[in-house]
Amino acid sequence: MFDDDFSPPPSSMSGWSNLSPNLKSDLIFLLPFIFVDFFNYYSAGAALIISGPIMLLLYLGSGALCSFFALRQGRNTSELAALGAVTGAGLWLVSTIVNALVGVIVGTASLGATLLLGVPYLCLCAPINLIGGAIAGAIGAWLFSILINR
């Protein structure tokens, strides 16, 4: 009745296991981070007192989760901080792209006013956010490595 050579179909998550730790972590944190960053960006930084600490926690958590995935893949603990930094930079990049696309759409509707207001942000604040996100991701990865080595 049943074939002896039957093997179960491959898991639908098998592609997930082939992804890099950075990409896995960024995909998990992507929507919450975009929401918080979007809130901060379109309040012209007025919401920074609320969104800043939340974004910091998301960067730290993303770096820590990246470390978790990297260790499960057999990566060396000396690589974790660098992987966390790349994860933080990846979150920043995706968020910046989303904000730029929304800015183009809203800027077109507002006859360019939003685009002009977004240029100072991209020139002044975005590089600082990139550096801060990479550092926070590296710190999150480093803290995770300390916690597991206890």
Residue 41, in any domain of the structure: yes
Containing structural domain, residue 104: 21-148
Residue 97, in any domain of the structure: yes
Residue 104, in any domain of the structure: yes
Give whole-number Cα distances, 41 to 56, 65, 81, 147, in Å: 15, 25, 27, 33
Residue 16, in any domain of the structure: no
Residue 1, in any domain of the structure: no
The pLDDT of residue 26 is 93
Residue 12, in any domain of the structure: no
Residue 50, in any domain of the structure: yes
Residue 6, in any domain of the structure: no
pLDDT per residue rounded down to tens, the chain (150 residues): 444 554 444 555 568 878 899 999 999 999 998 888 878 777 766 777 888 899 899 999 999 999 999 999 989 888 999 999 999 999 999 888 887 887 778 777 767 666 676 677 778 878 888 999 999 999 999 999 999 876
The domain total for the chain is 1
pTM: 0.81
